[in-house]
Amino acid sequence: MDVRPLDPADPALAAIEEMLGEHYRSNLASYGALSREGTVLFACFEDSQPIAFGIFRNYRDPELHVGSHIDLDQLADILQMEEVGLYQVALLHARHPDRLVETTEALLAAFEGWLVEHYQRHGIFITLFEKGNRLARPLYKRLGFKKVGRPSSLMRFDLHRSDRFFRKIPPLPEALVVRFFEEVGEAEKESFAECYRTVFLRSARPDPSSVFSALTRVVSAPDFDPYLSCLLWSHQQERVVGFMLAQRPEPLQPHILVVGLLPEFRGQRLPLRCFPFIARRALAQGLSRGTFVTTQSMVVRLAMRAFGARQIERIQPYLKVG
Amino acid sequence: MTDRRAPEFATDSASGAARVSAARGGALGNGDLGEPGNAGPERPPVRGGGVIEPPEVADRRPYSVNVELTLACNLRCRHCGSSAGKPRPDELSLEEFATCFAELAQLGGEEVCLLGGEPLVRKDWEAICHQVGEAGLRLVLITNGMAVNDEVVRRMAAMPHLHRVGVSLDAAHAEIHDDLRGRSGSHARALWALFSLRDAGIEVGAITTLSRPNLEELQPLAELLLDQQITWQIQVASLGGTRFDSSDHLDRAAFYRVGQFISECRRRYPVDRLPVAGSHDIGHHSEILGPTGELAEWHGCGAGLYTLGIMSDGRIKGCLSQHDDFIEDNLRHRSLVDIWNDPNLFTRNRRFSVEQLEGFCRQCPYGATCRAGCSNVAYTTTGCTFDNPFCFYRIEQEDGLVAHPDRPGGAG
């Protein structure tokens, strides 16, 4: 078995695209593989044919924060250490499930070797959100991965019951207005990037222009849903103070990727107050259910009470430091 | 481990008994509260009708600061609000703490409360304690007692600036305390620490964190602490920690029972026999129970006004009790003086307006000064820092405990 990194011209990419489409209804572009700097793709070959692959993403790339299903604050300290390469295992997959353990082990070993060549120290983390990652669960402990931080909860909300709940949700304060992505201009997008940077990336302190360009790519991605993604705009301050980004991985099931609010606007239930705006749009499109991920048990509890959301899975991050 | 929500203990700079005594005396004027070095923070002036307004910008100072020395802990308490156990990845060094304390003194701080995690598991805890004194600040220390031995007691007794030590004690019965704290023998260690520190001449207090499993321990604890010259602070476990089972959280009826218990203790026992008070998350403005806290009257959350919380990795909140959503900045990014004086931080209290209040709190006559009580309790139960269902006054009004003139059958 041969394991090697792939470049954008590798002929094996077509076979991997096929596997992604078949098993995940996705493609390499949606994982940023080969289109983003810092995303690395490794594949296992047998008889010159790819039998498994792994997608590894540089966690310092702001683009990857969106929808990563882990508590970003937990890794803030590591992100401040410039010499540490921090990568997320986005997806591991084997064509034949009975080869998964063997190929996963080989892929992770090859990727770790690559990290050793490029960084003084490194960290690899993984969540079991993706099916391929989940199937290889028994392997991680043996390979030295340890549970880190809080597990996230995958929540599902049922929009058919929403009217019953939404009557109780207080309206937004007058100074704030919801603006959906399909109608926002460049100035608002720039303000959004600044808001995102303040909310999630204060510790890492990346260059504002890199955040803007990364988020521009996020909102241009094929599965990003501008119809259900919105910004919270303050008339008084003339800036974006919060955001909710959604994607549509499956045609009839929106997924709220990430919710953020500037610190001074927290504690006013603003995401909850925005939610009816999104839900009404979703209902108008005939969407009955949606999902979101949160790391906070408080949000789980409140979402259950406020609009009948249900917890359908807990996602635990694992980290290996070398 | 120690409890993240023990800072109230720290804000009581006067002797616990004296403070509780003052509270029991009924209404306190500003003069009673404002004597530096004697009776706590200089509170904002009392205006007509006893309404206390937030301090003007120039008057704000971090009078009492709670410092998380480390997140490492030798216990795994079920109710721990900060889910302590392992240290944070990059905790502040001795030198960084020294700078921090010097800046606090510069800002007009008077008291530093060291807590955790468990502060005594840090090898340099004693050096950090001395740094507090060298900066001219009073020291309060909160411990679970596990690491307290004869040598530690001797060292603490030798610290002239050590004002008080709080020891976590959740039950009179060892099995209940040990179960909540996740380690057998922790109850015996806590009791040993309490009595040894007291016998060494250090002012000590017991801090009890209440959840369903130890709610019935209140009376046995009262009997245990009676006539022991130990102050007693009662607080309620919040929903913030990852180990806390939300079904163990006290509901509003149980919460009110806690207030009734404190009120009954104060009626039954003189303050010098059992100085007991509810923490900042227990109250407020009851028309039936009288004062249950350390102060005669609740003046609203002090986060960013009189208090400050410093996490062991340098992150700053208005109060360590607050949820991590309210982290304001990091003293590794800029000086504590700059952070405290930044007009765009600590906005929950500094830019408060009554229009922000929600739910019952919006119509509450105490809303303007109470600001919905403890912001952490409000946030973790409703998602809104300005809507707090855990309030004695609100429970009394909503549950009909107080006869209301405009309700059928109400007193006219």
- Contact call for A77 and B383, based on CB within 8 A: no
Residue where the block lists tokens 């909140």: B317
Measure the CA–CA gap between B40 and B57, rounded to whole angstroms: 19
pLDDT for position B346: 95
Q: Quote the minimal CA–CA distance from B238 to chain A in Å.
A: 11
Q: Per-residue pLDDT averaged across A30-38, rounded?
A: 72
Measure the CA–CA gap between A280 and A286, rounded to whole angstroms: 10
- Contact call for B90 and A268, based on CB within 8 A: no
pLDDT for position B9: 53
Give domain A2-149's CATH number out of 3.40.630.30, 3.40.640.10, 2.60.40.10, 3.40.50.300. 3.40.630.30
Q: Per-residue pLDDT averaged across B229-247, rounded?
A: 92
Q: DSSP string of B367-384?
A: HHHHTTS-HHHHHHHHSB
* Predicted confidence (pLDDT) at residue B4 exceeds the cutoff of 70: no
Triad A56, A58, A62: Cα angle to 5°: 130
Burial of B133 (0-12, 13-18, 19+ CB in 10 A): middle
- Contact call for A297 and B379, based on CB within 8 A: no
Quick one: tokens of A254? Answer: 């929106």
Nearest CA in chain A to B382: A302
A77 neighbourhood in chain B, CB within 8 Å: 88-90, 313
Q: DSSP string of B188-240?
A: HHHHHHHHHHHHTT--EEEEEEE-GGGGGGHHHHHHHHTTSS-EEEEEE--TT
3-state SS assignment for residue A227 = coil
Interface test with A, best of B339, B347, B352 (most A CBs within 10 A): B347
Give domain A154-315's CATH number out of 3.40.630.30, 3.40.1390.10, 3.20.20.100, 1.10.357.10. 3.40.630.30
- What order of strands is seen across the sheet that includes strand A318-321? A2-5, A39-46, A49-58, A84-94, A121-126, A318-321, A146-147
- Contact call for B384 and A263, based on CB within 8 A: no
B106-131 confidence digits (pLDDT tens): 999 999 999 999 999 999 999 999 99
The model's pTM: 0.84
Which of A184-193, A252-261, B5-14, B286-295 is predicted with the least confidence, judged by mean pLDDT? B5-14
What's phi and psi for A128, nearest 5 deg? Answer: -100, 25
- Contact call for A267 and B325, based on CB within 8 A: yes
pLDDT for position A198: 87
Measure the CA–CA gap between A205 and A197, rounded to whole angstroms: 8
Nearest to A266 among B240, B325, B358 (CB): B325
Measure the CA–CA gap between B320 and B312, rounded to whole angstroms: 11
- Contact call for B328 and A302, based on CB within 8 A: no
What's phi and psi for B231, nearest 5 deg? Answer: -75, 160
A223: nearest Cα among A27, A64, A5? A27
User: Between the CA of residue A7 and those of A12, A35, A46, A107, what are the distances in Å?
Assistant: 10, 10, 18, 16
B168-183 confidence digits (pLDDT tens): 999 999 999 999 999 9
Measure the CA–CA gap between B392 and B394, rounded to whole angstroms: 5
Q: Per-residue pLDDT averaged across B198-220, rounded?
A: 98
Topology agreement, domain A2-149 and domain A154-315: yes
Strand residues in A59-205 grouped as ranges (E): 84-94, 121-126, 146-147, 152-158, 176-180
Residue B38 vs residue B225, higher pLDDT: B225
- What order of strands is seen across the sheet that includes strand B307-310? B276-278, B231-236, B204-210, B162-168, B138-143, B111-115, B64-68, B307-310, B315-317, B329-330
pLDDT confidence band for A78 (50 / 70 / 90): low
Contact indicator for B91, B70 with CB cutoff of 8 Å: yes
Interface test with A, best of B325, B345, B375 (most A CBs within 10 A): B325
Nearest to B89 among A77, A170, A297 (CB): A77
Question: Chain A interface residues facing chain B, Cβ-Cβ under 8 Å?
Answer: 73, 77-78, 80, 150, 170, 202-203, 263-264, 266-269, 272, 297-299, 301-302, 306
DSSP A267: T
B144: nearest Cα among B178, B175, B173? B178
Residue ranges covered by each domain of chain A:
2-149, 154-315
Q: Per-residue pLDDT averaged across A262-286, rounded?
A: 92
